[in-house]
């Protein structure tokens, strides 16, 4: 454990907690706790959007995916940002006019329906919990190399700190933590990108150990043993240790495989068009990489032992879609379910942003619609800048020589370590703050759903302002505890993959209901409720029955899954719309306006 | 506009906003469609991906400039 790393990490955590304590007195009323009195400046709110949205999935997950599979991870960046176009042009301003504290407020404004209040709250809770899982997993992934603690300690630490942030000052402290985190994240990612370009690309021909059957026998090792049906051979070396070699494209070529313990730092360029480059321009970086050969490492298991084998990949292959198992179907000819899966994921990312409750409640923290628009534009600019940088960060990590092939989530911090330990400590602390910012927003949304939507509005409890805030704080603690448990349970999954699920559920359950409540005059309360419940049930059910869940969660064969592709949005979003229209048309009710419907 | 709402409650995107939103949807759809037909070459993939992100920022800035109160 590096003392400097610990000091920087503790400084970040203590500063965050101190800020929350300082701001605590501003959030004693429900208006202050849930919406920061609607007095947040639009510029601060814009960067707080970035702090809220750029989660562990964006920073750790996407960078990791690009570092391991190239361009495929960048598809997530494109989809995540595109979703903000829906938020800005369609949802932002009407939502501000119609809501007060929560997502369900805006849905229910026209109807004054207890059903909508409950359905909106359930949806908020489920989507927030789904989104919380990858954040907690990311926290656990960070804490191990940073402080040397096991995964569950990182999860517990985030859970406790975030719960304190939320309980102390609600949306006020959450906003400032997110603002600081968003600004720091974009600034340090820009710095890292500058360093990547300044360092350029370095050729490492020795990154892969080559041999041939003749050479191995000349070393006097035991005779080769071919692994049945797989391109590997086993060799017992001079010291009596077992070595595994992969047979190359040419049968006379053998590439040395390594176990995770032997292979601590990878990520090299085996061949560059004209040797080491020196500093590169932003576009020149891609041009040189396009003509190079990169060494990636893939995992294989033989007789219960996992090891990694090198894969020499042309740069031109790294910079186009379809290298990862998730998107490999894009390179197939004609129709394939993998292509439908890709289409469905991109639809979920596009529609999901404008239906994430923790993002939507941020619209209530500014004064008016003009501030909403301006803060969204600041958010899009800062988030867009970050997503452009992810491509450099991921590719920089792929070629930095410090990558851990067993942990894709650590790619960005390890990239920083390739420059200096101080930068590693700073980036890790910022990544940790990234988790804090997003988790605090999610817990705020969930606590609002419990205290405001369910207790006060659905159950009709006559709560004073003080009691409502106290109930919200109790709910925040409960959600924090549940999130910690889930973070430990799902610790081995890539965080970007997990966030894809949350977007599918949010887009299926919330977006159809929100759009139709805002813009379709014939929508009814029953239609809205049915749409939310059907969207929730079908998207969750589809995910639980998908090949990805079968293989990565249940440990079963993906081919045994009953649904043909893993991302449900392409089916469940239209289904949710259809259900809303049909139920509304079949059961028209007179619209009842709530007493405070006039803004 | 829903009859039960005051005129300014649920303002859908209009004019320039509709144009920008529609145009972005088309570009995003074209990007996905092109990848479904055949995966893009490296240069095209990088240029179109970065272009979509930059265009989102540009469209947002245009909207902010146009959409005064």
| pLDDT tens track for A476-500 | 999 999 989 988 888 776 666 678 8
Question: Which run of H or of E encompasses A235?
Answer: strand A232-236
Cβ neighbours of residue A149 closer than 8 Å, sequence gap 6 or more:
A143, A157
Using the structure block, give the residue that is written with the tokens 């997003």.
Answer: A438
Alpha-carbon dihedral of residues A234, A238, A239, A241, nearest 10 degrees? 0
The nearest CA of chain B is from the CA of A6 a distance in Å of 36
What the block records as the tokens of A162 is: 């975030």
pLDDT at A33 over 70: yes
Q: Report the pLDDT value the prediction gives residue B52, as an integer from 0 to 100.
A: 96
pLDDT at B2 over 50: no
Spatial distance between the Cα atoms of A391 and A588, rounded to a whole number of angstroms: 50
Burial class (CB within 10 angstroms; exposed 0-12, middle 13-18, buried 19+) of A490: middle
Residues in chain A within 8 Å Cβ distance of B40: 320-321
Asked if B5 reaches chain A (Cβ–Cβ under 8 Å), the answer is: yes
Inter-chain residue contact B42 with A290, CB threshold 8 Å: yes
Inter-chain residue contact B49 with A521, CB threshold 8 Å: no
Residues in chain A within 8 Å Cβ distance of B49: 71, 74-75, 77-78, 391
Cα dihedral across residues A51, A55, A59, A62: positive or negative: negative
Question: Which run of H or of E encompasses A255?
Answer: strand A254-256
pLDDT band at B43 (very low <50, low <70, confident <90, very high): very high
pLDDT at A594 over 60: no
Asked if B37 reaches chain A (Cβ–Cβ under 8 Å), the answer is: no
Question: Which run of H or of E encompasses A22?
Answer: helix A3-23
Q: Report the pLDDT value the prediction gives residue A129, as an integer from 0 to 100.
A: 87
Residues in chain A within 8 Å Cβ distance of B32: 342-343, 346
In this structure, are strands A232-236 and A225-226 parallel, antiparallel, or unpaired? antiparallel
The nearest CA of chain A is from the CA of B52 a distance in Å of 7
pLDDT at B11 over 60: no
Among A47-56, A71-80, A102-111, A499-508, the range with the most confident prediction by mean pLDDT is: A71-80
Residues in chain A within 8 Å Cβ distance of B69: 369-370
The nearest CA of chain A is from the CA of B15 a distance in Å of 11
Q: Which of A89, A316, A370 to mutate to test the interface with B (most CBs of B within 10 A)?
A: A89
Secondary-structure percent of chain B, ordered helix, strand, coil, rounded to 5:
70, 0, 30
Spatial distance between the Cα atoms of A110 and A597, rounded to a whole number of angstroms: 7
Inter-chain residue contact B11 with A71, CB threshold 8 Å: no
Inter-chain residue contact B21 with A369, CB threshold 8 Å: no
Residue closest to A386 by CA, chosen among A172, A118, A81: A81
Q: Report the pLDDT value the prediction gives residue A71, as an integer from 0 to 100.
A: 95
The nearest CA of chain B is from the CA of A310 a distance in Å of 22
| Chain B residue closest in CA terms to A386 | B53
Residue closest to A380 by CA, chosen among A160, A54, A29, A5: A54
pLDDT band at A510 (very low <50, low <70, confident <90, very high): very high
Asked if B53 reaches chain A (Cβ–Cβ under 8 Å), the answer is: yes
Residues in chain A within 8 Å Cβ distance of B4: 110, 521, 591, 593, 597
pLDDT at A597 over 60: no
In this structure, are strands A268-271 and A254-256 parallel, antiparallel, or unpaired? unpaired
Q: A208 and A257 in contact (C-beta within 8 Å)?
A: no
The nearest CA of chain B is from the CA of A351 a distance in Å of 11
- Residues A340-377 have pLDDT tens digits of 999 999 999 999 999 999 999 999 999 888 889 899 99
Q: Report the pLDDT value the prediction gives residue A463, as an integer from 0 to 100.
A: 86
Residue closest to A117 by CA, chosen among A354, A363, A459, A464: A459
Span A211-232, mean pLDDT?
A: 79
Cβ neighbours of residue A303 closer than 8 Å, sequence gap 6 or more:
none
Asked if B7 reaches chain A (Cβ–Cβ under 8 Å), the answer is: no
* DSSP class of A284: H
Asked if B15 reaches chain A (Cβ–Cβ under 8 Å), the answer is: no
Span A183-190, mean pLDDT?
A: 94
Q: A353 and A376 in contact (C-beta within 8 Å)?
A: no
Out of B17, B32, B49, the one facing A343 most closely (by C-beta) is: B32
Residue closest to A381 by CA, chosen among A157, A139, A85: A85
Asked if B55 reaches chain A (Cβ–Cβ under 8 Å), the answer is: no
pLDDT band at A584 (very low <50, low <70, confident <90, very high): very high
Inter-chain residue contact B42 with A94, CB threshold 8 Å: no
* 3-state class (DSSP) for residue A245: strand
Out of A89, A110, A319, the one facing B63 most closely (by C-beta) is: A89
The nearest CA of chain A is from the CA of B26 a distance in Å of 12
Among A98-102, A131-135, A393-397, B61-65, the range with the most confident prediction by mean pLDDT is: A393-397
Q: Spell out where A9-132 has E strands.
A: none
- Residues A276-327 have pLDDT tens digits of 999 999 999 999 999 999 999 988 888 777 888 888 999 999 999 999 988 8
Q: Report the pLDDT value the prediction gives residue B58, as an integer from 0 to 100.
A: 94
Q: Helical H runs in A399-546?
A: 411-417, 421-448, 465-489, 495-509, 511-519, 525-544
pLDDT at B13 over 60: no
Inter-chain residue contact A346 with B60, CB threshold 8 Å: no
Q: Report the pLDDT value the prediction gives residue A502, as an integer from 0 to 100.
A: 87
Q: Report the pLDDT value the prediction gives residue A174, as an integer from 0 to 100.
A: 87
Q: Report the pLDDT value the prediction gives residue A224, as an integer from 0 to 100.
A: 72
Q: Report the pLDDT value the prediction gives residue A592, as an integer from 0 to 100.
A: 54
Q: A27 and A166 in contact (C-beta within 8 Å)?
A: no
Residues in chain B within 8 Å Cβ distance of A110: 2, 4-5
Residues in chain A within 8 Å Cβ distance of B2: 110, 519-521, 523, 591
CA distances from A146 to A196, A263, B39 (A): 22, 19, 38
Spatial distance between the Cα atoms of A68 and A395, rounded to a whole number of angstroms: 9
Using the structure block, give the residue that is written with the tokens 């990239």.
Answer: A415
Q: A480 and A139 in contact (C-beta within 8 Å)?
A: no
Among A163-172, A541-550, B49-58, the range with the most confident prediction by mean pLDDT is: B49-58
Give helix B15-37 / helix A337-352 axis angle, nearest 10°. Answer: 160
Cβ neighbours of residue A557 closer than 8 Å, sequence gap 6 or more:
A550, A551
* 3-state class (DSSP) for residue A579: helix
* 3-state class (DSSP) for residue A523: coil
Q: Report the pLDDT value the prediction gives residue B7, as an integer from 0 to 100.
A: 46
Inter-chain residue contact B10 with A77, CB threshold 8 Å: no
CA distances from A597 to A312, A365, A455 (A): 63, 19, 21
What the block records as the tokens of A472 is: 């919200």
The nearest CA of chain A is from the CA of B16 a distance in Å of 10
Q: Give the CA angle between residues A324, A388, B31 to the nearest 5°.
A: 60
Q: Report the pLDDT value the prediction gives residue B69, as an integer from 0 to 100.
A: 43
Spatial distance between the Cα atoms of A57 and A65, rounded to a whole number of angstroms: 10
Spatial distance between the Cα atoms of A469 and A475, rounded to a whole number of angstroms: 10
Residues in chain B within 8 Å Cβ distance of A388: 50, 53-54
**CB count, 10 Å around CB of A55?**
28
What the block records as the tokens of A588 is: 């028209």
- Residues A62-71 have pLDDT tens digits of 999 999 999 9
**What is the count of residue pairs from A and B with beta carbons less than 8 Å apart?**
144
Q: A289 and A201 in contact (C-beta within 8 Å)?
A: yes
* DSSP class of B5: S
- Residues A397-446 have pLDDT tens digits of 999 988 888 888 889 999 999 999 889 888 888 888 888 888 888 998 99
The nearest CA of chain A is from the CA of B39 a distance in Å of 6
Q: Report the pLDDT value the prediction gives residue A154, as an integer from 0 to 100.
A: 83
């Amino acid at each position: 454990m590096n003392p400097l790393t610990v000091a920087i990490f503790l400084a970040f955590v203590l500063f965050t907690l101190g800020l929350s304590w300082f701001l605590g007195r501003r959030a004693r009323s429900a208006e202050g706790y849930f919406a920061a009195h609607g007095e947040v400046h639009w510029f601060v709110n814009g960067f707080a959007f970035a702090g809220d949205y750029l989660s562990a999935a964006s920073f750790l997950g996407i960078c990791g995916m690009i570092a391991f599979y190239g361009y495929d991870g960048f598809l997530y960046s494109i989809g995540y940002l595109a979703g903000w176009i829906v938020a800005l042009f369609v949802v932002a301003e009407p939502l501000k006019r119609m809501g007060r504290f929560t997502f369900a407020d805006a849905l229910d404004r026209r109807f004054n329906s207890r059903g909508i209040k409950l359905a909106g709250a359930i949806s908020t809770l489920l989507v927030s919990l789904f989104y919380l899982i990858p954040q907690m997993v990311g926290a656990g992934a960070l804490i191990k190399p940073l402080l040397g603690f096991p995964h569950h300690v990182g999860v517990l630490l985030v859970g406790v700190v975030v719960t304190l942030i939320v309980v102390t000052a609600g949306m006020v402290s959450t906003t400032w933590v997110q603002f600081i985190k968003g600004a720091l994240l974009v600034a340090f990612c820009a710095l890292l990108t500058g360093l990547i370009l300044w360092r350029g690309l370095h050729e490492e021909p020795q990154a892969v150990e080559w041999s041939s059957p003749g050479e191995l026998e000349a070393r006097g090792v035991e005779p080769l043993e071919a692994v049945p049906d797989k391109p590997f051979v086993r060799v017992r070396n001079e010291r009596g240790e077992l070595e595994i070699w992969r047979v190359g494209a040419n049968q006379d070529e053998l590439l040395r495989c390594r176990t995770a313990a032997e292979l601590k730092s990878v990520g090299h360029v085996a061949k560059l068009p004209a040797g080491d480059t020196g500093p590169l321009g932003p576009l020149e970086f891609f041009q040189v990489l396009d003509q190079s050969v990169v060494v990636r490492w893939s995992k294989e298991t033989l007789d219960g032992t996992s090891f990694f084998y090198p894969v020499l990949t042309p740069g031109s292959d790294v910079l186009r879609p379809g290298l990862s198992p998730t998107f490999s179907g894009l390179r197939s000819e004609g129709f394939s379910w993998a292509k439908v899966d890709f289409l469905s994921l991109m639809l979920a990312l596009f529609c999901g942003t404008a239906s994430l409750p923790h993002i939507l409640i941020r619209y209530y923290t500014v004064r008016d619609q003009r501030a909403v628009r301006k803060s969204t534009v600041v958010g899009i600019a800062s988030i867009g800048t970050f997503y452009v940088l992810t491509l450099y960060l991921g590719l920089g990590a792929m070629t930095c020589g410090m990558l851990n092939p067993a942990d894709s989530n650590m790619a960005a911090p390890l990239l920083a370590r390739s420059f200096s330990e101080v930068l590693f400590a700073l980036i890790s602390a910022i990544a940790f703050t990234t988790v804090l910012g997003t988790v605090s927003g999610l817990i705020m949304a969930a606590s609002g759903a419990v205290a405001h939507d369910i207790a006060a509005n659905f159950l009709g409890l006559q709560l004073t302002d003080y009691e409502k805030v106290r109930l919200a704080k109790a709910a925040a603690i409960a959600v924090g505890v549940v999130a910690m448990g889930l973070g430990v349970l799902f610790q081995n999954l890539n965080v970007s993959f997990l966030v894809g699920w949350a977007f599918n559920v949010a887009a299926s359950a919330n977006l159809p209901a929100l759009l139709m409540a805002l813009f379709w005059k014939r929508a009814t309360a029953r239609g809205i409720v049915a749409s939310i419940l059907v969207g929730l049930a079908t998207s969750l059910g589809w995910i639980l029955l998908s090949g990805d869940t079968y293989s990565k969660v249940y440990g079963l064969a993906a081919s045994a899954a009953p649904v043909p592709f893993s991302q449900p949005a392409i089916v469940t979003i239209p289904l949710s719309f259809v259900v809303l229209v049909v139920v509304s048309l079949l059961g028209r009710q007179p619209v009842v306006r709530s007493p405070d419907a006039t803004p | 506009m829903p009859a039960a709402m005051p005129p300014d409650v649920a303002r859908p995107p209009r004019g320039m906003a509709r144009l920008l939103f529609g145009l972005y949807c088309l570009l995003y759809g074209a990007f996905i469609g092109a990848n479904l037909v055949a995966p893009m070459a490296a240069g095209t993939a990088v240029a179109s991906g970065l272009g979509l992100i930059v265009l989102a920022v540009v469209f947002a800035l245009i909207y902010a400039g146009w959409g005064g109160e």
